């Protein structure tokens, strides 16, 4: 195995001091995430959805939300959020409803079509990931990714499998 493909087993861990060489596996993991993101964007184009739209659907699958909260959770600015919301509403994937806790406010909810679009896209994402993952190693990889997803969502305060 050449240096590019060999993990550095004794490199500093994720919390290495500044200036220390990072564990090569972390760099390779970041590259893998970026490459997978590119592949998943292609899947999204074929499924007539964008990654930001998917993030909105995922957030709303976890529960109704106000537009500002949805924008913050999805890491998009308010102007982009307004555009995404308008498009998702136009396509019948979400609805605006009065916020029962604030008569002036509006909350967003998934429609049955939005739930179906979310599920369809996630099935397609899983299919693509299944093609990239070596079957002999898939259990260990899936377990590690699952733990990572729970840690990331734990930092954000949401359930990983929402």
Give CA–CA dist 29/52, Å, rounded.
22
pLDDT in tens, 63-89: 889 998 898 888 888 889 999 999 999
Residue 76 CB: number of other CB atoms within 10 A? 17
Instruction: Give every CB contact of residue 86 below 8 A, 6+ residues apart in sequence.
Output: none
pTM of the predicted protein model: 0.75
Classified as helix, coil or strand, 23 is coil
Q: What is the pLDDT of residues 101-130, one digit of tens each?
A: 887 889 999 999 999 999 999 999 999 888
All domains of the chain in start order, with CATH: 50-136 (1.10.10.10)
């Amino acid at each position: 195995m050449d240096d590019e493909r060999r993990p550095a087993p004794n490199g500093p861990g994720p919390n290495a001091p500044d200036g220390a060489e990072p564990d090569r596996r972390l760099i390779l993991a970041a590259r893998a995430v970026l490459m997978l993101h590119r592949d998943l964007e292609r899947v999204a184009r074929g499924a007539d959805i964008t990654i930001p739209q998917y993030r909105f659907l995922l957030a709303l699958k976890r529960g109704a939300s106000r537009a500002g909260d949805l924008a913050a959770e999805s890491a998009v600015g308010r102007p982009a959020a307004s555009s995404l919301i308008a498009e998702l509403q136009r396509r019948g994937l979400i609805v605006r409803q009065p916020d029962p806790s604030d008569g002036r406010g509006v909350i967003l909810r998934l429609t049955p079509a939005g739930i179906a679009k979310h599920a369809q896209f996630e099935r397609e994402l899983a299919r693509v990931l299944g093609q990239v993952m070596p079957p002999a190693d898939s259990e260990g990889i899936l377990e590690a990714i699952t733990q990572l997803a729970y840690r990331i969502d734990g930092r954000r305060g949401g359930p990983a499998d929402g």
